[in-house]
């Protein structure tokens, strides 16, 4: 099994990113081969500040390493360091129907909101397909809302194969565990777009203040409450031990407690849960040259594989070996 996943460097990871995706990506790093990349070319559709994008790219690598990605087990690289992917993107674009791209969610949603969409956003799914196909990836872990991108990739690759022979491996989506959906501080899905996140690497003091501001219902303290429908309990369940979770659930069902006590317990559990990752991040951040060397080594491995696939595609369609 060859696994591939990319993470856009458009902001720092929050609990939703970690529990909903990153922890599951890292669990797959012991596959036959796993490629993980920082998708800085994709990020250019939204981040247009040079210094910001550069820093976010390095931060994303540090974050992944701190959260458990092992460069001895997986290949970690920056997307733009593998130019073969961009070359392959052009080959794919020459045979991708406009109608296919017009039906893609990101483009449709932006147009529906009356927002301007540039060519980068329109062609985004083709670059995404090149990311996947360049490494003969057969498994791509995605959330349910990203399955369409894998279907588009399969359509693009299938069309190329039909014209020029069996060049590309057709990937399959590995849908991430939907039970890992993480509520935000407002009860909606945790998302930077909703401004309802709890950052993984936020300082404990700041995060405690964020947690203490979470709105709760006005039921009397003595009333029993259903833990499964409560945002505080759902968040607590992610970072507490099994014994702590069961004890808190029993407290909810018995009643006679204040939400302030739950918030304090949540803040403490969150601080303890991510303490090691924060320490690891501080260590990696103090050694940026080591991080850059890991990315450079990853890019060399990635380029080797991507070159094989690009050459195969070039020869198949007649722009090499003439």
Helical axes 147-164 vs 288-317, angle rounded to 10°: 40
Which residues, in sequence order, are CB contacts of 21 under 8 Å at separation 6+?
141, 143, 176, 180
pLDDT at site 180:
64
Buried-state track 21-40, b at ≥16 Cβ within 10 A, e below 16: bbebbbebbebebbbbbbbb
Q: Which of the four pLDDT bands, split at 50, 70 and 90, describes residue 32?
A: confident
Q: Order across the sheet with 172-175: list the strands.
A: 75-78, 33-38, 2-7, 139-142, 172-175
Tell me the three state secondary structure of residue 221. Answer: coil
Distance CA 141, CA 147 (A): 9
* 110 counts as catalytic: yes
Write out pLDDT tens, residues 137-188. 999 998 887 899 999 999 999 999 999 999 999 999 998 876 567 999 999 9
How confident is the model at residue 245, as a pLDDT?
Answer: 97
CA-nearest of 7, 285, 47, 50 to 140 is 7
The residue annotated as part of the active site, out of 108, 192, 292, 320, is 192
- Nearest-angstrom CA–CA distance, 119 and 250: 54
β 75-78/33-38 pair status: parallel
What is the share, in percent, of the chain residues with pLDDT greater than 70?
99
**What is the pTM (predicted TM-score) of this model?**
0.92
- What distances in angstroms separate CA 62 from CA 4, 59, 71, 77, 292, one per listed residue? 19, 5, 12, 12, 10
Does 189 participate in catalysis according to the annotation? yes
User: How far is it, in rounded angstroms, from Cα 183 to Cα 155?
Assistant: 34
- Across the chain, mean pLDDT equals 94
Place of tokens 């894998």: 150
Could you tell me the pLDDT band of residue 38, with boundaries at 50, 70 and 90?
very high
Tell me the pLDDT tens digit for each residue of 255-294: 999 999 999 999 999 999 999 999 999 999 999 999 999 9
**Strand (E) or helix (H) holding 140:** strand 139-142
Residue with tokens 């733009």: 80
Question: What distance in Å separates the CA atoms of residue 231 and residue 75, rounded to the nearest whole number?
Answer: 36
* Domains of the chain, start order: 2-181+288-317 (3.40.50.620), 202-273 (1.10.240.10)
Residue of 108, 110, 113, 205 with catalytic role: 110
- Does pLDDT of 222 surpass 70? yes
| List 111, 174, 189, 264, catalytic entry | 189
Residues in contact with 145: Cβ distance below 8 Å, sequence separation at least 6, in sequence order: 105
């Amino acid at each position: 099994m060859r696994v591939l996943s990319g993470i856009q460097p458009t902001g720092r990871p929050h609990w939703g990113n970690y529990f909903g995706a990153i922890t599951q990506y890292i669990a797959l790093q012991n596959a036959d081969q796993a490629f993980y990349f920082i998708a800085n070319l994709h990020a250019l559709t939204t981040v247009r500040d040079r210094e910001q994008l550069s820093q976010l790219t390095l931060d994303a690598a540090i974050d992944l390493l701190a959260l458990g990605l092992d460069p001895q087990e997986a290949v970690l690289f920056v997307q733009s360091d593998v130019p073969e992917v961009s070359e392959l993107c052009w080959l794919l674009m020459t045979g991708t129907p406009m109608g296919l791209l017009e039906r893609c969610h990101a483009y449709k949603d932006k147009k529906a909101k009356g927002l301007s969409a540039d060519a980068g956003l329109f062609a985004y799914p083709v670059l995404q397909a090149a990311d996947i196909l360049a490494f003969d990836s057969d498994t791509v872990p995605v959330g349910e809302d990203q399955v369409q991108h894998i279907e588009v990739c399969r359509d693009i690759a299938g069309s190329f194969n039909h014209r020029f022979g069996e060049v590309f491996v057709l990937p399959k989506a590995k849908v991430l565990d939907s039970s890992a959906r993480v509520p935000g501080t407002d009860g909606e899905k945790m998302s930077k777009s909703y401004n309802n996140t709890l950052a993984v690497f936020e300082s404990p003091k700041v995060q405690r203040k964020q947690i203490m501001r979470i709105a709760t219902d006005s039921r009397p303290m003595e009333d029993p409450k259903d833990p499964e429908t409560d945002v505080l309990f759902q968040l607590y369940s992610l970072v507490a031990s099994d014994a702590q979770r069961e004890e808190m659930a029993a407290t909810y069902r018995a009643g006679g407690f204040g939400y302030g006590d739950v918030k304090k317990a949540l803040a403490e559990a969150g601080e303890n849960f991510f303490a090691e990752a924060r320490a690891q991040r501080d260590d990696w951040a103090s050694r940026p040259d080591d991080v850059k060397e890991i990315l450079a080594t990853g890019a060399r491995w990635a380029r080797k594989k991507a070159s094989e696939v690009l050459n195969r595609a070039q020869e198949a369609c007649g722009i090499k070996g003439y």
